[in-house]
Structure 1
Amino acid sequence: MPDHDVAIVGAGPVGLLLACLLAQRGIDVAVFEARGAADDRSRAIGIHPPGSATLDAAGVGAQVRAEALALDGGDVICASRTLASLTFTAAQRVLILPQHRTDAFLRARLSQVQDGALHLGCTVTGVWNEDAVARLSFAERPDITASFVVAADGVRSGIRRQLGIAWRERPGSGWYSMADIPDSSDASLGTRAQLHCEREGLVESFPLPGARRRWVAGDPDRVLGDAAAFTHAIERRTGIRLELPGGLKPTVFQARQHLAARLVHGRVVLVGDAAHETSPIGGQGMNIGWMASQHLASAIERSLRAGRVEVEEYERRTLRAAARAQRRSSFYMTMGRPARGPALLLRNTAIRMLGTVPLRGRTADMITMQG
């Protein structure tokens, strides 16, 4: 007999949500996380309507909504002119909550439905299939076996590498700098997002709970990691002057897109960022992982009841959904790149068209993962 029905490697938002869904079904689950404490970085902030539905299914939706900020819509601007303006309906509403707070709700829920399921400070050193079980080895503890092992260990998944699963690069990449700062009175934009698609590059501004905003600037030359350079670039592109708190340095990051060649290897299954890296431009990666977790939880439950592996449909659906999200994100990144002359005119015309009355609802559906 295996030690657990399911062993999940990685206690990020996707691994934790999957664990909650499984435990609620009476499935014995163990979650192993290499970090010895919770990750308190802000990271992902956008919870799209399909993601909200998965949080409801995991039993934390009401708590998330009580603390999150609801995004009313957004405006696309170039040279101080609004090219398109969208207002979300109730069905399209995006919630804004820093990832570490969502993680905290999911950890508490997992403890409630299966106390002791989360194991911190456990570094996986090996994984392999054995007849009717999968085995995990650790640096700090004895091996364990499970009917299924789920790799939710992120973009740099050690399990994916060990299994030799190809990690295929997809179109869409770019460098950006980001800072979360207090929402100053002269730059206050309420509960709307602003996307400045300027000649010199993208500037994004998203509201955060607690009267804060996230500012993101396209940084192809990786020169905006300094606070002064970051604020100067935003002022030059948009005319908005920001003040970063003393000592705060913007985070420089690369947005890239990858898709695993397959998600199933015997009784080992990939999910979340281990399965697909989707650019944060558009904020869809975490939500795709949550949606996939619902399908995977159902597939694992069926497999355990049938006594055989029945997760092929999960693999097909997730690869298709991730590819669609990556195409959208690649489009978003293209629209935010520096542009001049005819290229700028063509881009702005396309943005204006997407914001016209006949297309406005469809555009909002696409942005909020409804279409």
Structure 2
Amino acid sequence: METDVVIVGGGPVGLYLAALLLQAGVRVRVLEQRPSPNGHSRAIGIHPPALAALADVGLASALVHAGVPIRRGLAISGGRTVGAMEFSSVSRRYPFVLALPQHRTEQLLAERVRTLDPDALVRGARVTGVADDGGQVAVSVGPGLGAADPARGYAAQVVIAADGARSGLRQQLGVPVARKTYPDHYLMGDFADAGTHGEKAVLFLERHGIVESFPLPGGVRRWVVRLGAPAAATDPLHLAHLVRDRTGILPEPGSNSMLSAFSVHTTAARKTVLGRVVLLGDAAHEISPIGGQGMNLGWLDAQALAPLIHRVLAGTATPAEVCRYESGRRQAAARAARQAGINMMLGRPLPPALLGLRNAALAAVASSPPVNRWVARRFTMQ
């Protein structure tokens, strides 16, 4: 089957790029190996630049309506508020960070793609190989996870690998990656929200490590606890007790609706444009989830890539344009990784004396409106 663009991976980044291209008249097929949508609420934060990008496909209003706008963040230590961050100045259109579970974000994106082309999203399709002859890319496809569809093939002018941090297509292409491992491990879960902090994000800066807390739609709150080693137990009661021991707040274990443990590492592909195949989002560069920038970075990658794809399809793209795209997105990923590193550093365990110094520094930042605004803009990817 011939098409203009094949996107490998039907996650939020692949679906967003598909919507951008489809509404401009480009023929697109999104090949997703999962036979059904993922119900896991992994990424939850949508920053103002990403909301502006999502407005380009007509989804910002629907996302804001579905999510929780976080307009203020608090830093608490030992039961005392040591600082606050206001998001009112970070954007005129979107003066907040939007909290929305990833599965709901993907659902809205998939609906938009289907509205533009009911056949664009192909589920249960696993890409087994690509062959780029310089003018066209042949895509071999077999049944995906739990799929019964017969194998199919596609021929496209451009192929996009948006299949995540463990990108199978990147591995097939033999693209080397630079990998860095951090001494940071986390356990997170979603529980019923007692309403103590309303629609504020809260960072509990405690001696044994940070606890992060974010409101979600439907009266739910996410709790993220930093650990000193990979989680030995991943049950809701264990996480609830960790939160209580550090913050004095006990989430109701029986209300848990999501539980996940993760350790932090980063990867960066040495090359992201390989002829007519482009690595996008986490397939190109995975960064720490702390700070919620990864999914947003992928959307901004796609927004920058779409005009280049149009020029490739028209036969007017130049090598210099390709280089500018690749270097620009590499720089954006490096900035995001640095910010994530700072976020993790602030949440690591400290002895009482150093904890007091850190809290005093945060209080000084919070008390200076110009500095507070600058930090808020950095945090929200401005």
Structure 1 window deviating more from structure 2 (17-26 vs 60-69): it is 60-69
Offset, 1:219: 1.9
User: Which residue of structure 2 aligns with residue 271 of structure 1?
Assistant: 280
Q: Supply the distance in 1 between the matched residues of 2:266 and 2:364 (Cα, whole angstroms).
A: 27
Offset, 1:266: 0.8
Offset, 1:292: 0.9
Paired residues, number: 367
Offset, 1:236: 1.2
Q: Supply the distance in 1 between the matched residues of 2:127 and 2:201 (Cα, whole angstroms).
A: 40
Classify the secondary structure of the residue corresponding to 1:236.
helix
Structure 1 window deviating more from structure 2 (75-84 vs 196-205): it is 75-84
Letter of the 1:192 partner, please give it. Answer: K
1:120 aligns with 2:123: yes
Offset, 1:44: 0.8
User: Which residue of structure 1 aligns with residue 46 of structure 2?
Assistant: 47
1:306 aligns with 2:315: yes
Offset, 1:341: 4.0
User: Which residue of structure 1 aligns with residue 375 of structure 2?
Assistant: 363
Classify the secondary structure of the residue corresponding to 1:337.
coil
Offset, 1:307: 5.1
User: Which residue of structure 2 aligns with residue 321 of structure 1?
Assistant: 332
Q: Supply the distance in 1 between the matched residues of 2:180 and 2:258 (Cα, whole angstroms).
A: 30
Structure 1 window deviating more from structure 2 (79-88 vs 293-302): it is 79-88
Backbone CA RMSD of aligned residues: 1.8
Q: Supply the distance in 2 between the matched residues of 1:117 and 1:362 (Cα, whole angstroms).
A: 41
2:358 to 347, 352, 358: 347
User: Which residue of structure 2 aligns with residue 334 of structure 1?
Assistant: 345
Q: Supply the distance in 1 between the matched residues of 2:44 and 2:332 (Cα, whole angstroms).
A: 20
Alignment CA distance shift 1:334-1:165 (3 Å): same
1:353 and 1:359 in contact (8 A); partners too: no
Alignment CA distance shift 1:247-1:361 (3 Å): closer
Alignment CA distance shift 1:132-1:308 (3 Å): farther
User: Which residue of structure 2 aligns with residue 148 of structure 1?
Assistant: 158
* Deviation beyond 4 Å, 4+ runs, structure 1: 246-249, 307-310
Offset, 1:18: 0.2
Q: Supply the distance in 2 between the matched residues of 1:123 and 1:245 (Cα, whole angstroms).
A: 37
Letter of the 1:71 partner, please give it. Answer: I
Structure 1 window deviating more from structure 2 (305-314 vs 23-32): it is 305-314
Letter of the 2:114 partner, please give it. Answer: S
Classify the secondary structure of the residue corresponding to 1:139.
strand
Offset, 1:348: 2.5
Offset, 1:71: 0.3
Q: TM-score, normalised by structure 2?
A: 0.92
Alignment deviations for residues 280-302 of structure 1 (CA, whole Å, 9 cap, x no partner): 11001111110110111111001
Alignment deviations for residues 39-63 of structure 1 (CA, whole Å, 9 cap, x no partner): 1111111110001011100111111
Structure 1: runs of 5+ lacking an equivalent = none
Alignment CA distance shift 1:345-1:181 (3 Å): same
User: Which residue of structure 1 aligns with residue 148 of structure 2?
Assistant: none
User: Which residue of structure 1 aligns with residue 102 of structure 2?
Assistant: 99
1:28 aligns with 2:27: yes
Q: Supply the distance in 1 between the matched residues of 2:159 and 2:291 (Cα, whole angstroms).
A: 30
Alignment deviations for residues 100-135 of structure 1 (CA, whole Å, 9 cap, x no partner): 111111111111112201100001111221120112
Alignment deviations for residues 167-192 of structure 1 (CA, whole Å, 9 cap, x no partner): 2124645211111111125xx21010
Q: Supply the distance in 2 between the matched residues of 1:342 and 1:318 (Cα, whole angstroms).
A: 40
Offset, 1:343: 3.3
1:202 and 1:337 in contact (8 A); partners too: yes
User: Which residue of structure 2 aligns with residue 225 of structure 1?
Assistant: 234
2:165 and 2:285 in contact (8 A); partners too: yes
Report % sequence identity.
41
1:204 aligns with 2:202: no
Q: Supply the distance in 2 between the matched residues of 1:308 and 1:281 (Cα, whole angstroms).
A: 36
Structure 1 window deviating more from structure 2 (278-287 vs 237-246): it is 237-246
Offset, 1:353: 3.2
Offset, 1:342: 4.2
User: Which residue of structure 2 aligns with residue 134 of structure 1?
Assistant: 137
1:183 to 187, 193, 215: 193
Q: Supply the distance in 1 between the matched residues of 2:127 and 2:210 (Cα, whole angstroms).
A: 39
Structure 1 window deviating more from structure 2 (168-177 vs 79-88): it is 168-177
Structure 2: runs of 5+ lacking an equivalent = 144-150
Alignment CA distance shift 1:337-1:58 (3 Å): same
